[in-house]
Amino acid sequence: MAKLPVSVDKLIQDFGPHKNYTPKDGFEGTHEPDKLVKTHCCFCGMQCGIQLKVKDNTIAGFEPWMEFPFNEGRLCPKGVQRYLQNNHPDRIMEPLQRVEGKGFEPIDWDTAMGRTVDEIKRIQGKYGNDAFAMLSGVSLTNEKSYMIGKFARVALKTANLDYNGRLCMVSAGAGNKKAFGLDRISNSWADLKHAEVIIIAGTNVSETFPTLTHYIWQARDNGAKLIVVDPRVTPIARTADLHLPVKPGTDSALFGAILKILVDNDWLDHDFIENHTSGFDQAIDAVKDFDLDWAEAKTGVPQEKIMQAATMWGKAKTSFLLHARGIEHHTKGVDNVLSCINIVLATGRIGKPYCGYGTITGQGNGQGGREHGHKCDQLPGNRDITNPEHRKYIADVWGIEESEMPGKGLSAYELVEAIHRGEVKGLITICFNPLVSLPNNNFVREALEKLEYFVAIDFFLNETARHADVILASSLHEEEEGTVTTAEGRVVKINAAITPPNNARRDGEIIMDLAKRLGAGDKFNYENSEAIFNELRVASKGGTADYFGITYEKIEKNMGVFWPCPSEDHPGTPRLWEDKKFRTPDGKAHFNPVPWKESSEVVDKEYPVVLTTGRVVSQYLSGTQTRRIGKLVDQYPEPLLEIHPKLAYHYGIKERELVKVVTRRGEAEFPAQLVETIREDTVFIPYHWGGKQSANQLTIGTLDPISKIPEFKVCACKLVPTKKWAGPANESPAYQSF
């Protein structure tokens, strides 16, 4: 049933994306708002503080929040424009249902919820509980993440719950758990400012975490050397002390080679290795053949540069290593992460002032969201759903029998595959747009079309929701109170500025109502967000991600609290591992051997060019929110194919010529942008768009065996120039994803 009810053009006409702009004199009340509400940006893991101007229950603008310690008023373009989601013509204000040949028509809440519950019961009755799945997202607050984890297991009684964090930092999470037994960046950003050497690998900080740039610049003002590992010269790489233009998919070779150099030159912290780690010998054994010639051949980085990087890292007294999706979106994402951790552990620079390591979490609540339960294999407090003790503890908190709790379910992409195979028949989504964000999305579309019932909880009709049977009109970030955990592990407070307009409802209310109708109302009797948080505190108690000592009051008073925070008198933990007591079973940090492995698809004669994907500064993830904000769309209106002039010359490709990019999964045309700032063997396409200009039609759906993250960052393609020229960029309809 889940095919589009009418043409995509008609859906776009009715539900957008349309570009929203601020009126010339600002929204009503911008000069004299009723109040300023201190909250955070809804985009990215930095969670910059911002104040929203409220007038007559709408957002009239923003005012920088100078006192919030992380960003002190600083914002990126998305943050500045975030308020335009409010007052948006595309906003879904009441529940909708799919009507064949017509599109979507408003219905009342009772009908929408009643039909959903009937379908859940019908499908689960016919095919089993796990045939109804849920996909969630980590732009949601901790409270909602927790509640969804509980909802899926207690009310929906399905094992198949997963989330879009699966496309985010799960490789880092898995790697961190293997090495440290805990999944969080080791230090707060404050330590970054004084590190002597900073390596940032596969993270386009300046475009994806712009406000973190200031910390790196401050470190450089204090004398830090910056090493950037990236196939492209990103803005942060441009002035770096050392840029290593690594070939996509070869990060572990690079870090393995660096580890070997550290060992060969004895730039090691023997005391730390001996007393606080395990597995060192196996780890160095795995890289014993990673000499410079080999590394240069694999990574494409000149060996002098590799040597230089290793020397800088090896001789430093303090350091910080950061990575993000660039090394994590691989079938060996966990390996890449472990190869980074190995060089951190080898030099013993962790758990000390100005010595840190971590992933830069991408999504708004990528950190908190992945700790409290909407991951298929996990329970609150970063507990393991397969661990009987963990299950028992959470079952008690939830007031159910441990035996009633479903086991480990399928991960996000595996779930889509199961839908495609016909094993999963019903789906509920919230805060996830898989049709744009998952790889090989033609396959994803086929899967969606096979669903017997699909209900989407959303505030805009995104590309995936266009396939839904029922849409439940939900709330924007500024319409519900809660907490999020930033990329540095700081739990901060999201304050509700307004109430949802018209007939839209808060996400939390929708979930609670559904739970009630599914017969689990007694388990979802929360008076407010704080009540959910208080239950979460108990649920996380004793887990690695321990929030027990964090209260709303404490967060507001201290402008955030760093977990772990096991008791109310505990100040929180900005810097981990000062006691060298790692959370692994043996209490030690673990080296892990990372032998060389190829990516799942390598270039060959037929598909000779490496394709990698990523982001631009003006867009956020699948663009559900940002492709509706006029100025953000105008800044970078359409996805471009970044290609080196030499490679372009080889194919006779000219500037702004439409180039057909073909992979084994699909093909799409993009205007060429000839730039010397990319490797000669690699092309880059940003992924924020859907429809005909979606880069994820081309990417590959192979997964990391441990983290189940798809390999977005590398696949093989061929380029076919079309001799057609792209029209003016500002007239491109790409943002609408038709």
Partner 1 sequence: MPNTKYDQQMEFFVDMQRCIGCHACEMACAECETNGQESMIHIHYVDRASTVQTTVQVCMHCEDPACANVCPADAITKDEFGVVHTANSSRCIGCSNCVLACPFGVPQKQEQAELMMKCNMCYDRTSAGKKPMCATVCPSQALFYGTREEIQKMRPNSTPVKKFVFGQQEVNTKVNIMMPKGSTELKIH
Partner 2 sequence: MFRLIKTLNRIALIKATVAALLVIVVVFAGSRNLQNYDAALIGYLFGTVFAVFGIAYRYSVWLQRPPTRLYWRRSWEFLLSKDFVPYATRSLKLFFRNILFQRFIYPRGKTRWIGHFLLATGCLIAFAVTIPLTFGWIHFTLDPDSDTTYIANFFGFPVSTFQLGSPMAFAAFHALVWCSVLVTIGAVMMMKRRMTNGGLIATQTFDGDWLPLILLIAISVTGLGISYDYTFLQGRTHQFMAVIHAITVILFLIWMPFGKFFHIFQRLAQLGANIYKVEGSRRGMAKCPHTQQEFASQTHINDLKDVTKDLGFDFTLEDGRSHLDFSPEGKRSALAKAHFQARKEGGHFFG
Q: Using CB under 8 A, list all residues that contact partner 1.
A: 21-26, 30-31, 61-62, 64, 66, 71, 73-77, 79-81, 206-207, 210-214, 217-218, 221, 233-236, 238-239, 617-618, 631, 635, 645, 655, 673-677
Q: Which is nearer to partner 1, 74 or 383 (CB)?
A: 74
Q: Does 24 bind partner 2 (CB under 8 A)?
A: yes
| Pair of tokens at residue 119 | 């379908």
2 interface partner picked from partner 2, partner 1, none, CB below 5 to 8 A per type: none
- The Cα 346–Cα 359 span in angstroms is 18
Q: How far is the CB of 58 from partner 1 (least distance, A)?
A: 16
Q: How far is the CB of 73 from partner 1 (least distance, A)?
A: 5
Q: Which is nearer to partner 1, 25 or 606 (CB)?
A: 25
Q: How far is the CB of 207 from partner 2 (least distance, A)?
A: 18
723 interface partner picked from partner 1, partner 2, none, CB below 5 to 8 A per type: none
Q: Which is nearer to partner 1, 21 or 102 (CB)?
A: 21
Q: Which stretch binds partner 2 (CB under 8 A): 194-202, 215-223, 276-284, 427-435?
A: 215-223
CB 256 within 8 A of CB 286: yes
Q: How far is the CB of 644 from partner 1 (least distance, A)?
A: 10
| Pair of tokens at residue 500 | 């949802």
- The Cα 380–Cα 292 span in angstroms is 44
236 interface partner picked from partner 1, partner 2, none, CB below 5 to 8 A per type: partner 1
- The Cα 394–Cα 383 span in angstroms is 9
CB 200 within 8 A of CB 236: yes
Spatial CB neighbours of 401, under 8 Å, sequence gap ≥ 6: 395
- The Cα 708–Cα 702 span in angstroms is 8
Q: Does 25 bind partner 2 (CB under 8 A)?
A: yes
Mark out the alpha helices in 213-269 (DSSP H runs).
213-221, 235-238, 251-264
Peptide bond into 595 cis (omega under 30): no
Closest Cα partner for 20 from 472, 673, 434, 476? Answer: 476
Closest Cα partner for 84 from 616, 628, 477? Answer: 628
CB 564 within 8 A of CB 577: no
271 interface partner picked from partner 2, partner 1, none, CB below 5 to 8 A per type: none
- The Cα 205–Cα 552 span in angstroms is 30
Among 3, 31, 317, 646, binds partner 2 (CB under 8 A): 31
- The Cα 186–Cα 189 span in angstroms is 10
Q: Which is nearer to partner 1, 21 or 519 (CB)?
A: 21
| Pair of tokens at residue 85 | 């989601």
Among 13, 222, 239, 722, binds partner 2 (CB under 8 A): 239
Among 8, 77, 117, 217, binds partner 2 (CB under 8 A): 217
Strands (E) in 28-154, as ranges, are: 35-40, 49-55, 58-64, 96-99, 103-106, 132-136
Closest Cα partner for 562 from 492, 505, 513? Answer: 492
Q: How far is the CB of 300 from partner 2 (least distance, A)?
A: 24
Q: Which is nearer to partner 2, 22 or 551 (CB)?
A: 22
Q: How far is the CB of 218 from partner 1 (least distance, A)?
A: 8
666 interface partner picked from partner 2, partner 1, none, CB below 5 to 8 A per type: none
Dihedral pair phi/psi, residue 331, rounded to 5°: -65, -15
Q: How far is the CB of 133 from partner 1 (least distance, A)?
A: 37
Q: Which is nearer to partner 1, 74 or 466 (CB)?
A: 74
Q: How far is the CB of 658 from partner 1 (least distance, A)?
A: 18
Q: Does 238 bind partner 2 (CB under 8 A)?
A: yes
- How many chain residues interact with partner 2 (CB under 8 A)? 11
Among 18, 194, 214, 220, binds partner 2 (CB under 8 A): 220
- The Cα 158–Cα 408 span in angstroms is 10
CB 48 within 8 A of CB 596: no
Beta-strand relationship, 470-473 and 453-458: parallel
Task: Tell me the β-bridge partners of 456.
Answer: 429, 471
- The Cα 655–Cα 641 span in angstroms is 10
234 interface partner picked from partner 2, partner 1, none, CB below 5 to 8 A per type: partner 1
Q: Does 206 bind partner 2 (CB under 8 A)?
A: no
61 interface partner picked from partner 1, partner 2, none, CB below 5 to 8 A per type: partner 1
387 interface partner picked from partner 2, partner 1, none, CB below 5 to 8 A per type: none
Name the site residues for partner 2 (rule: CB under 8 A): 24-26, 30-32, 217, 220-221, 238-239
